Chains A and B, each alone.
Chain A
């Protein structure tokens, strides 16, 4: 069973640039959720994708957008980067739509984004 993978591991950008982060879900999972974790804080929910559609969104501006592909992998795009976007971005995969499931989310290792 393949776990959740994310790329790249680290990324440095300057204010105003755009960035794309990638996530491959665990084998058999159909849902991907993205979280932002600032230093010293718990992760904050950005959005979730289920069957290639956005299935819920946290309190993040529209410059945070995403995609899910037919193989259930996902991208997180952030436009017009700000200094406060510096954080660890975590991707989690799960199996939704199965009422007997545990609804457990499995996390990848994260992408550390630094905005200068």
Chain B
């Protein structure tokens, strides 16, 4: 059974800092890995998707990497801003065609 873990559970940083969010998964047989952003009480916004054959994806200030063999992914946020404050969720798509999510990292960027 696929399990996804995200560390840390919460993170508070001053504006302008670069930061890294971590995600690990137990079964390397995945189709892809997605990083999502969730604002309080809202749905999920897809940030980046890395297919199993890829190593990383970049979008603006965000960079996500994938090491399938070790079951790890990182989301790097450069020059953080208060508007980046949200919960960040990592999810893997397994052979059962279902996404398995971590519990998320709650990020607060202080002005």
- Which residues of B have CB within 8 Å of A105? 34, 46, 93, 99
How many residues from B make CB contacts under 8 Å with A?
A: 25
A40 to B86, CA, bound (A): 12
Contact residues of B: prevailing secondary structure: strand
8 Å CB contact of B32 from A33, A92, A102: A102
Q: Count of chain A residues with Cβ under 8 Å from any Cβ of B?
A: 27
Instruction: Check B103–A42 contact: CB distance below 8 A.
Output: yes
Please, which residues of chain A bring their CB within 8 A of the CB of B42?
A: 109-110
Kindly state whether residue A22 has any CB partner on chain B within 8 Å.
Answer: no
B97-A56 in contact (CB<8A): yes
Is B44 in contact with A41, judged by CB distance below 8 angstroms? no
Judge if B31 is at the interface, Cβ distance under 8 Å. yes
Mask of A81-105 contacts with B, CB within 8 angstroms, 1/0: 0000000101010001000001111
Provide a sorted-by-A list of 11 A–B residue pairs whose CB atoms are within 8 angstroms: A33-B99, A43-B91, A45-B98, A45-B99, A105-B34, A105-B93, A106-B46, A107-B36, A107-B45, A107-B46, A109-B43
